[in-house]
Amino acid sequence: MKATLSIQRGALGATPHQDTFDIPFEHGQSILDGLRAIRRSMDPSLAFRFSCINANACKECMMLIDGKVDYACTVRLKEGMTTLAPLPKKALIRDLVTEIAPPDERLMLRS
Protein backbone atom coordinates (compact mmCIF):
# COMPACT_ATOMS: atom_id res chain seq x y z
CA MET A 1 0.00 0.00 0.00
CA LYS A 2 1.19 3.51 -0.73
CA ALA A 3 0.23 7.11 -0.16
CA THR A 4 1.05 9.94 -2.52
CA LEU A 5 1.75 13.46 -1.30
CA SER A 6 1.58 16.26 -3.87
CA ILE A 7 3.39 19.19 -2.25
CA GLN A 8 3.48 22.80 -3.37
CA ARG A 9 7.12 23.88 -3.32
CA GLY A 10 8.92 27.15 -3.81
CA ALA A 11 10.11 30.29 -2.09
CA LEU A 12 8.91 33.87 -1.80
CA GLY A 13 9.09 35.53 -5.21
CA ALA A 14 9.56 32.24 -7.11
CA THR A 15 6.96 30.48 -9.19
CA PRO A 16 5.53 27.62 -7.11
CA HIS A 17 5.63 24.07 -8.46
CA GLN A 18 4.26 20.70 -7.34
CA ASP A 19 6.47 17.78 -6.33
CA THR A 20 4.87 14.38 -5.90
CA PHE A 21 6.21 11.68 -3.58
CA ASP A 22 5.02 8.09 -3.19
CA ILE A 23 5.57 6.79 0.31
CA PRO A 24 4.76 3.50 2.05
CA PHE A 25 1.39 3.67 3.78
CA GLU A 26 0.45 2.20 7.14
CA HIS A 27 -2.85 2.85 8.90
CA GLY A 28 -2.55 5.36 11.72
CA GLN A 29 0.26 7.44 10.23
CA SER A 30 -0.18 11.20 10.14
CA ILE A 31 0.59 13.60 7.30
CA LEU A 32 3.51 14.77 9.46
CA ASP A 33 4.84 11.19 9.56
CA GLY A 34 4.74 11.17 5.76
CA LEU A 35 6.53 14.53 5.47
CA ARG A 36 9.24 13.39 7.87
CA ALA A 37 9.72 10.18 5.84
CA ILE A 38 10.11 12.22 2.65
CA ARG A 39 12.68 14.52 4.25
CA ARG A 40 14.55 11.59 5.81
CA SER A 41 14.66 9.29 2.76
CA MET A 42 13.87 11.18 -0.43
CA ASP A 43 14.37 14.95 -0.25
CA PRO A 44 16.18 16.51 2.71
CA SER A 45 15.51 19.98 1.27
CA LEU A 46 11.74 19.78 1.89
CA ALA A 47 10.80 22.61 4.28
CA PHE A 48 7.97 22.28 6.79
CA ARG A 49 7.52 23.17 10.45
CA PHE A 50 6.75 21.01 13.45
CA SER A 51 7.61 21.10 17.09
CA CYS A 52 5.58 18.32 18.63
CA ILE A 53 4.13 15.11 17.29
CA ASN A 54 0.44 14.24 17.63
CA ALA A 55 -0.15 16.67 20.49
CA ASN A 56 -1.94 19.48 18.61
CA ALA A 57 -0.39 21.93 21.07
CA CYS A 58 2.21 23.90 19.16
CA LYS A 59 0.20 24.77 16.01
CA GLU A 60 3.40 24.95 13.94
CA CYS A 61 2.51 22.18 11.46
CA MET A 62 -0.61 23.94 10.20
CA MET A 63 -0.97 23.89 6.39
CA LEU A 64 -3.53 23.39 3.64
CA ILE A 65 -4.37 19.69 3.41
CA ASP A 66 -6.60 18.88 0.46
CA GLY A 67 -7.73 22.53 0.47
CA LYS A 68 -8.54 22.77 4.20
CA VAL A 69 -6.42 24.39 6.91
CA ASP A 70 -5.45 21.67 9.37
CA TYR A 71 -2.61 20.23 11.44
CA ALA A 72 -0.26 17.77 9.74
CA CYS A 73 0.24 16.00 13.09
CA THR A 74 -3.46 15.13 13.49
CA VAL A 75 -4.69 14.48 9.93
CA ARG A 76 -4.21 10.84 9.02
CA LEU A 77 -2.34 9.77 5.93
CA LYS A 78 -4.53 7.90 3.46
CA GLU A 79 -4.04 5.67 0.50
CA GLY A 80 -4.05 7.65 -2.72
CA MET A 81 -3.30 11.32 -3.34
CA THR A 82 -3.20 14.07 -0.72
CA THR A 83 -2.39 17.65 -1.75
CA LEU A 84 -0.41 19.90 0.59
CA ALA A 85 0.16 23.65 0.29
CA PRO A 86 1.34 26.47 2.57
CA LEU A 87 -1.15 28.49 4.60
CA PRO A 88 -3.04 31.06 2.55
CA LYS A 89 -2.85 34.76 3.46
CA LYS A 90 0.51 34.23 5.22
CA ALA A 91 3.91 35.31 3.94
CA LEU A 92 5.65 32.35 2.33
CA ILE A 93 9.14 31.54 3.52
CA ARG A 94 9.76 28.28 1.62
CA ASP A 95 7.75 25.19 0.62
CA LEU A 96 5.18 24.61 3.41
CA VAL A 97 6.72 27.16 5.81
CA THR A 98 4.90 30.47 6.24
CA GLU A 99 5.41 33.36 8.64
CA ILE A 100 3.25 32.56 11.63
CA ALA A 101 4.78 34.67 14.42
CA PRO A 102 3.08 37.98 15.21
CA PRO A 103 5.13 40.93 13.91
CA ASP A 104 6.23 42.03 17.39
CA GLU A 105 7.61 38.54 18.15
CA ARG A 106 9.66 38.05 14.97
CA LEU A 107 13.42 37.96 15.09
CA MET A 108 15.04 40.62 13.00
CA LEU A 109 18.07 39.50 11.02
CA ARG A 110 20.78 42.08 10.67
CA SER A 111 23.36 42.00 7.92
What does the pLDDT read at residue 50? 87
Distance CA 67, CA 74 (A): 16
What distance separates the 2 farthest-apart alpha carbons in the chain? 49
What are the residue ranges spanned by the domains of the chain?
2-105
What does the pLDDT read at residue 55? 57
pLDDT digits (tens, 9 = 90+) for 48-107: 988 875 555 677 899 999 999 999 989 999 999 999 999 998 889 999 999 876 555 555
pLDDT tier, 32 (very low <50, low <70, confident <90, very high otherwise): very high
CATH number of 2-105: 3.10.20.30
Question: Strand locations in 1-111, DSSP E?
Answer: 2-9, 17-24, 62-65, 68-71, 80-85, 92-94, 97-98
Distance CA 82, CA 65 (A): 7
At 68, which amino acid appears?
Answer: K
